[in-house]
Structure 1
Amino acid sequence: MDKILVLFKYYNDAKLAVENYKVLKEKFNFEMLPLYVKELKVPTGVTFLSPTMTLDILKEYEDEYIEKLKTLLDKEGLKEELIIDIGMTKQLVQDYLKKVDFIMVEETDYLDEDFLDLLKVIYKPVIIINKSVSNFEKIVVISDDGIKINKSIKNFVKDFPTIKDVTLISWNYKQDENNVLDFLKRKGIETKVEMFDDSLNTKDDFFKRINEFDLIVMGNLSKSFFFEKITKRMGVEIIEKANTPIFIG
């Protein structure tokens, strides 16, 4: 049985995280470790709160969210005890990751530096959710054939062995060799290939297409952003514009 750390934050949609987890539980027998980390500061980029907001007011928001979250977990029949901890989110998450196989986090609309920094310290596969619930059936692999996506797809195939067909999509990839495609074929996974090219397609075409799937597999952002040579921020753009949950291994 795999175990996933679900990180809840007061400015995210707890219902969305719970619904995504329930699919993982039903289809893949996942167990949840629910965690709420109380803030020591107001996160950067939270636009619906005043810049002069005090930690006391923040505590009120958090306490209200936590009570609603406990009620939600109980209503959904999820009996795992909600862990509430206090400290720096990155450090605490790294410690709790020792207890699990995956982590689930929710993208913030403003995609601030706190969120990106968190991605850089996560050392287990992560599922990023934002606007929809995944059925974990219609899978798209976004590949530049780099080291990061090679690592992600290897972990994905290992962690979800029942997935037997995917679509591989690339942007401006012109090399003859495609190691990700070769890997998928060797593992017996039926793979449809779609190549997007900026001489024929727009980025809007690209993002519209990937949002037709219910799970995106992509490389991590820990050192170099995906498609760095093209836009310097393509990996961040994918997270910002994807309505579909994302797996990063």
Structure 2
Amino acid sequence: MEKIMVLFKYYNDAKLAIENFKSLKKRFGFEILPLYIKELRVPTGVTFLSPSMTMDILKEYEDEYIEDLKNLLLKEGIKDELVVEMGINKEIVQEYLKKVDCLMLEETEYLDEDFLDILKIIYKPVIIVNKSVSSFKNVVIISDDGVKVNKSVNSFIRDFPQVKSVTLLSWNYKYQENNLLELLERKGIEAKIEMFNQQFNTKDEFFQRMNEFDFIIMGNLSKSFFFEKITKRMGVEIIEKATKPIFIG
């Protein structure tokens, strides 16, 4: 049985993460390790007065939020105790990843520093939730046939052996060169290919089609996130445009 660490943040939607976990549990039998890391600095976009006064006010709200989160977990039938830590987010996440098979966290609206730091150091698969709850039934792979998406697909096959059919969705890529298709067929997974090309389609059409699926698989970004954002690389755009959970292996 797989175990997922769900990382809760003060300024994120705990209900959204919990509902996505419950969906994973219902479909795949996942267990949970709920983790909350207390803030050491003022989150991006949160300002009241001076930084020190802002942190004092935030701590009061944060303690209240933690109690509410514990009650919410119980209300939703999750009896596993909420683990509360204080420290550097990425260091704590690295340590607790040793106990689980994958990580779930919520995308922040502007891909803030904490979110990107965690993506840089993860050594196990991550599920990014954003905007909606998934049934995790209709799976799409965003494929450029690169090494990173191949790695994600291998991790997905290992962690979700129940999934036997997927769709490969590509942007500006030639069908004949898609080696990932051969891998999926060898693993006994039926794969349908949909090709989008800038000569005939817009990116908005591509992202609209992507969001018609329940679960998105993509390759990891490079560690130069801001370079990729500035150069408008597809990986960053997928995270920003997706309304459904994303799996990165």
TM bucket normalised to smaller: over 0.9
Q: Give the length in aligned residue pairs.
A: 243
**Measured at CA, do residues 41 and 236 of structure 1 come closer, stay the same or move farther in structure 2, by a change above 3 Å?**
same
Deviation by residue 1:33-76 (Cα, 9 ceiling, x = unmatched): 000000110123x2x53473421112122112111111100101
* Cα pair 1:5 1:100 within 8 Å, conserved: yes
Deviations 1:124-154 (A, max 9, x none): 1100001111111100000111110000001
Distance in 1, matches of 2:189 and 2:154, equals 12
Partner of 1:234: 234
1:117 positional shift: 1.8
Cα deviation, residue 176, structure 1: 2.6
Looking at structure 2, the residues matched to 237 and 124 of structure 1 have their Cα atoms a distance apart, in angstroms, of 22
After TM superposition, the structure 1 = structure 2 runs for residues 191-206 of structure 1, keeping only pairs within 5 Å, are 191-206=191-206
Computed over aligned residues only, the root mean square deviation of the Cα atoms, in angstroms, reads: 1.5
Where 1:176 maps in the other structure, the secondary structure is helix
Instruction: For structure 2, list consecutive stretches of 5 or more residues without a partner in the other structure.
Output: none
Determine the structure 2 residue equivalent to 1:102.
102
> Over residues 187-219 of structure 1, what are the superposed CA-to-partner deviations in whole Å (9 max), with x where a residue is unaligned?
111111011111111110011000000100000
SS in 1 for 2:177: coil
Deviation at 1:174, TM superposition (A): 2.8
Work out the CA distance in 1 between the residues paired with 2:151 and 2:28. 21
Counterpart residue type for residue 49 of structure 1: T
Inter-partner Cα distance in structure 1 for 2:224 and 2:181 = 22
Aligned to 1:34: 34
TM-score by length of 1: 0.93
Contact (CA 8 Å) 1:4, 1:100: kept in 2 or not? yes
Distance 1:142 1:224, change over 3 A: farther
Identity, % of aligned positions = 69
Q: Residue 49 in 1 paired to residue 47 in 2? A: yes
Contact 1:119 1:222 in 2 (8 A): no
| Structure 1 residues without counterparts, runs of 5 or longer | none
In the alignment, what sits opposite 2:219?
A: 219
Return the letter of the residue paired with 1:34: P
Q: Following the alignment from structure 1 to structure 2, what is the Cα–Cα distance between the partners of residues 160 and 210?
A: 20
1:10: Cα distance to partner? Answer: 0.5
Please list the CA deviations of residues 74-132 of structure 1 after superposition, one character each: whole Å capped at 9, or x if unmatched.
10111000000000000000000000001000001121232112111111110000111
Question: 1:224 & 1:182 partners in 2: Cα distance?
Answer: 30
1:114 is paired with a residue of what secondary structure?
A: helix
Instruction: Output aligned runs, 1:1-249, within 5 Å.
Output: 1-44=1-44, 46=45, 48-50=46-48, 52-53=50-51, 54-174=54-174, 176-223=176-223, 232-249=232-249
Q: Distance in 1 between matches of 2:171 and 2:49?
A: 39
Q: Distance in 2 between matches of 1:198 and 1:43?
A: 38
Tell whether the 8 Å contact from 1:121 to 1:222 is kept in structure 2 after alignment.
Answer: no
Tell me: CA distance 1:51–1:195, structure 2 relative to 1, closer, same or farther (3 Å): farther
* Mapped partners of 1:186, 1:232: distance in 2: 34
Q: Is the 8 A contact 2:129 2:244 kept in 1?
A: yes
The CA distance in 1 between the partners of 2:49 and 2:147, in whole Å, is 40
Aligned CA distance change for structure 1 residues 194 and 51 (closer, same or farther; 3 Å): farther
Tell whether the 8 Å contact from 1:169 to 1:196 is kept in structure 2 after alignment. yes
